[in-house]
Amino acid sequence: MIVKVKVNGAERSADVEPRVLLVDFLRSNLRLTGTHVGCDTSSCGACTVLLDGEPVKSCTMLAVQAEGQSITTVEGLAAGGAMSPIQAGFHEEHGLQCGFCTPGMMLVGTALLDRNPNPSVDEIRWAISGNICRCTGYMNIVKAIQYAAETKRAAATAPTAQPVAAGGGQ
Amino acid sequence: MFPAAFDYRVPATLAEAVDILHERGDDAKVMAGGQSLIPLLKLRFAQPALVVDIGRLPNLSGIRRQDGHLTLGALTRHVEVERSAELKAACPILPEAAHWIADPLVRNRGTVGGSICHADPSGDWGSVMLALGADFVAHSKSGERVIHAADFFQGPFTTALRADEVLIEIRIPLGSGRSGGAYTKLERKVGDFATVAVAVQVELDGGKVAKAGIGLTSVGEKNLKAAAAEKALVGHEPTDEVIAEAARQAAAAAEPKEDIRGSVEFKKDIVRVFVQRGLKTAVARAKEGKA
């Protein structure tokens, strides 16, 4: 069955069996291997992608369910090669060690800041509560998202454009 | 992991969906958000010949208030309930329970109707709907019928829904007097199934409990309605003693199994404590005039 989706702003289509999971479609058909398979049982969030801007687990979704929708993977975060505020935050605050959970964490953080530009620590922790990190203890991940929130707020109020990609995505 | 092969249909209308189920209901599984079904398909606990994806049928989503009822379209996602300011004021137990379901990513996809039809004894919505005395509207080729929550859940993953029916709407009666509810859940970590969770809803009239609903999660073969505990409240002032007695009755009605999350005694005692706490919160909310 033909599935057509927009991935990181580009129209993509492929002929897939209905049973093909979205994560396998992204990794195998589209070769976008930044979306990871961790637990494969809907527990860890390593496979997080944004579906029409909201984070979902691509291991618990069929590719055909995404028909006609817009998907952002970690590969879509850096606009024109410039790191998005979230990526800059993870870089500056050392928000990763092994990096396995990082794509999911950054996508969840991106969606959070789109909805809530000024989240509290509790709101950040709640937003990432479906994503498991086994390295950092979450402290620096929270700081990274705070850093991104501050950067975005500064960019929004600055008189001239800042050297970061606004908004991420696309 | 990936599912065994299945045929896949995406009906454009509800009429088309029930036509398909009329023909092939026995071999089919209906999928809404897929957050319960897809893990089962991947583990191959479920191997339906056909998956009928109703996830994007029009007009089956959203929260409305009409004729003294709240209605939730079956495809309303958990996250919509969680974030609804209207529900926070009109029926706070609903967003409170939604907040505890799985994790934020699952709540972005999973639907209230799908979760109810999945009928996991550890599911949260079943207990909430039992406490609220909700009605479920089932649609099939032969028309609509209403199934009361208390008659809907029949056993683990088993409901009164026929293979040719689709759940389309949940109707929740809004009390005429002062009412309030609460959902209290113990889980080891975000995303884990409840060790124990308790839904309570009370309606007060002249300082006495006019109506009471108590639903229990993860302590039986299905979401349990604690009928004796409800009875112990109705007609009485909700004093500490009356609440303590209702909590004891609810604990007696619980039928938990010992597992990695705790012993039978522990879980029963959590039921007692949570019913007590939930009732106190619910009564306070009812007195504040929250629905």
Q: Does B42 touch chain A (CB under 8 A)?
A: yes
The pair phi, psi for residue A55, each rounded to 5°, is -70, 135
- Domain B178-286 matching CATH 3.60.20.10: the answer reads no
* pLDDT of B208 above 50: yes
Q: Are B167 and B174 in contact (CB under 8 A)?
A: no
* pLDDT of A166 above 60: no
Stretch B248-260: mean pLDDT: 97
pLDDT given for residue A170 in this prediction: 44
Chain B residues lying within 8 Å of A21, measured CB to CB: 2, 38, 42
Q: What is the pLDDT of residues B151-200, one digit of tens each?
A: 999 999 999 999 999 999 999 999 877 999 999 999 999 999 999 999 99
Residue whose C-alpha is closest to residue B183's, from B223, B222, B146: B223
* pLDDT, chain A, mean: 93
Chain B residues lying within 8 Å of A60, measured CB to CB: 34-35, 38-39, 106, 109
Tell me the pLDDT band of B290, cut-offs 50, 70 and 90.
Answer: low
> Domain A85-157, what fold?
DNA polymerase; domain 1 (1.10.150)
pLDDT given for residue A169 in this prediction: 47
The pair phi, psi for residue B195, each rounded to 5°, is -70, -50
Q: What is the pLDDT of residues B107-153, one digit of tens each?
A: 999 999 999 999 999 999 999 999 999 999 999 999 999 999 999 99
- B7-52 CATH choice from 3.50.50.60, 3.30.43.10, 3.40.50.2300, 3.40.920.10: 3.30.43.10
The pair phi, psi for residue A150, each rounded to 5°, is -65, -45
* pLDDT of B288 above 90: no
Query: Which of the pair, A161 or B215, is modelled with greater confidence?
Result: B215
Stretch B187-214: mean pLDDT: 95
Whether residue A41 and residue B39 make contact (CB cut-off 8 A), yes or no, is yes
Q: What percent of chain A has pLDDT over 90?
A: 88
Stretch B48-57: mean pLDDT: 97
* pLDDT of B50 above 50: yes
Q: Does A55 touch chain B (CB under 8 A)?
A: yes
Contacts of B17 (CB under 8 A, 6+ apart): B11, B30, B52, B54, B57, B166
Question: Domain extents for chain B?
Answer: 7-52, 63-173, 178-286
pLDDT given for residue A161 in this prediction: 58
pLDDT given for residue B291 in this prediction: 52
* pLDDT of A52 above 50: yes
Domains B7-52 and B178-286 agree in fold: no
Measure A20 CA to nearest chain B CA, in Å. 7
pLDDT given for residue B247 in this prediction: 98
pLDDT given for residue B61 in this prediction: 97
- Domain A2-76 matching CATH 3.40.50.150: the answer reads no
Question: Domain extents for chain A?
Answer: 2-76, 85-157
Tell me the pLDDT band of A159, cut-offs 50, 70 and 90.
Answer: confident
Whether residue A108 and residue B104 make contact (CB cut-off 8 A), yes or no, is yes
Residue A86, both tokens: 């979230």
* pLDDT of B92 above 50: yes
Measure A162 CA to nearest chain B CA, in Å. 31
* pLDDT, chain B, mean: 96
Closest Cα in chain B to A40: B1
Please give, one letter per residue, the 3-state secondary structure of chain B: CCCCCCEEECCCCHHHHHHHHHHHHHHEEEECCCCCHHHHHHCCCCCCCEEEECCCCCCCCCEEEECCEEEEECCCEHHHHHHCHHHHHHCCHHHHHHCCCCCHHHHHHCEHHHHHHHCCCCCHHHHHHHHHCCEEEEEECCEEEEEEHHHHEEECCEECCCCCCEEEEEEEECCCCEEEEEEEEECCCCCCCCCEEEEEEEEEECCEEEEEEEEEECCCCCCEECHHHHHHHCCCCCCHHHHHHHHHHHHHHCCCCCECCECHHHHHHHHHHHHHHHHHHHHHHHHHCCC
For B63-173, CATH gives: 3.30.465.10
Q: What percent of chain B has pLDDT over 90?
A: 95
Q: Is B62 left (phi over 0), alpha (psi -120 to 50) or beta?
A: left
- Residue A60 to residue A121: CA distance in whole angstroms: 28
Helix (H, G, I), strand (E, B) or coil at A56: strand
Stretch A90-97: mean pLDDT: 96
Closest Cα in chain A to B103: A130
Residue whose C-alpha is closest to residue B105's, from B30, B190, B187: B190
Q: What is the pLDDT of residues A23-51, one digit of tens each?
A: 999 999 999 999 999 999 999 999 999 99
Tell me the pLDDT band of A162, cut-offs 50, 70 and 90.
Answer: low
Q: Which of B42, B43, B108 sits opposite A55 (nearest CB)?
A: B108
